[in-house]
Amino acid sequence: MRRRTFLHALNLGIASTTLFGSDLFAMEKDRANDKELAYHRIKDIRFSNVQLHYPRLVGKNARLDLHGHGPKIDICTIHTDKGAVGWASLRGSRKEAEMLAKELIGKSVADVFQTNIGLTVAKFIPFDIALHDLAGVILNKPVFALLGREKPIIHDCYSGMLYFDDLEPREKPAGIDKIVEECKQDYDLGYRQFKLKIGRGHRWMPSDEGLKRDIDVTKQVAAAFPDCKILVDGNNGFTADRFIQYLQGIAGINLFWIEEPFHETEADYTKLRAWLKKENIQTLLADGEADPDQRQLKQLIEKKLLDVHLTDIEGLGFTNWRKLMPELKQMGAQASPHAWGSLLKTYYTAHLSGGLGNTATIEGVSSMSDDVDLSGYVLHEGKLTPPSGAGFGMKLLKKV
């Protein structure tokens, strides 16, 4: 998401009231927190990266080719004159962040961050998540506590790792058994929700053959894991009519949600919603990941055509998500910030959701790393619990 999108989002009329409302005790508590932040001045900002490794090769989706073995994530560490250090992945490009960094040097943390709001200067969005971590370190509180919760609200977490691996390797495709095998791997990791990528006929298979494979994969996974919930993600690879054909093909399977079957339009979602109502099918409609238009998403939610808002946790920005969440709740919608690609984003979302609730489920991106201690987070029986340590509770193992 481009910087202008963040600035645009700030002016959408997203709820601007503080998280603590008019509660006097909470307001005094915030003043005390921000006074503590004011003691710390930003002395240095350093840049590096961390390598994440997926447990297996992640294949294609409806639009994109192989997703690989795991990303290298650009990060920054923010150091204060009192010795506190916070870190996180960057929002946007490292080059942009490096140009802005010198403007932060010498400022007190309270100049750019308030506990009841988050980031207070929009242009510093590349450092949004790192400043949340730093504030947590200074105040010795987990980020979910900065958002108002002594104990986190615990949410479901789904496996987002199930791509078109039945089509790999190209010279000898593994077939549907490969997807079922991967679901078993993810089940053993603690997941109880599986998000299946569908839309094979958009690019990788003949249309009818691809549709049949999507249907067969869904049926076989649902049959193999009757205690788990199934989500599907079309990555905008269908028309409305073609997606309804898919739903007819999996009749009797209760989907937890439908994500991005086609690029969001009022006409297509009206058609899909009407068909679901006619068939008495209860499922959530989730959208807003790809090239999101925040005004349009708000309109679709207001018209009850969407149930779950999906814009990326880094793309919209952690601070903007803090503003957006109360408005979604008021409109009767839920959140599930997009986290694909990085387990760090999954864990940032666990704190956002842990502090504010109103989250349908969290996107899980299973990863390992020699650069970050990821062990504080626990996934058990489908529930993701964030640690109670300071900030996001992830120790950076590599020297920066």
Domain boundaries, the chain: 3-141, 155-396
- Rounded to 5 degrees, φ, ψ at 343 are -65, -25
| Residue type at position 262 | F
Q: Please identify which residue in the block is written with the tokens 């788990």.
A: 228
Helices (H) then strands (E): counts for the chain:
15, 17
pLDDT at 276: 98
CA distance 176 to 172: 13
pLDDT at 29: 53
Residue segments in the chain with a per-residue pLDDT below the cut of 70: 1-29
**CB-count exposure of residue 58 (10 Å: 0-12, 13-18, 19+):** buried
Q: What is the pTM of this model?
A: 0.93
**What's the token pair of residue 372?**
């970050």
pLDDT at 27: 43
pLDDT at 31: 75
User: Residues 147, 149, 154, 155: is their CA dihedral positive or negative?
Assistant: negative
pLDDT at 372: 98
pLDDT at 68: 97
Residues 81, 82, 85: CA angle, nearest 5 degrees: 85
**Cross-sheet strand order for the sheet of 42-51:** 42-51, 72-80, 85-89
**What's the token pair of residue 339?**
């986290």
Q: What is the DSSP letter of 205?
A: S
pLDDT at 32: 76
Q: CATH number of the domain at 155-396, please?
A: 3.20.20.120
Summarised one tens digit per residue, pLDDT across range 157-179 is 999 999 999 999 999 999 999 99
Domain 3-141 has CATH 1.10.10.10: no
Do the domains 155-396 and 3-141 match in fold?
no
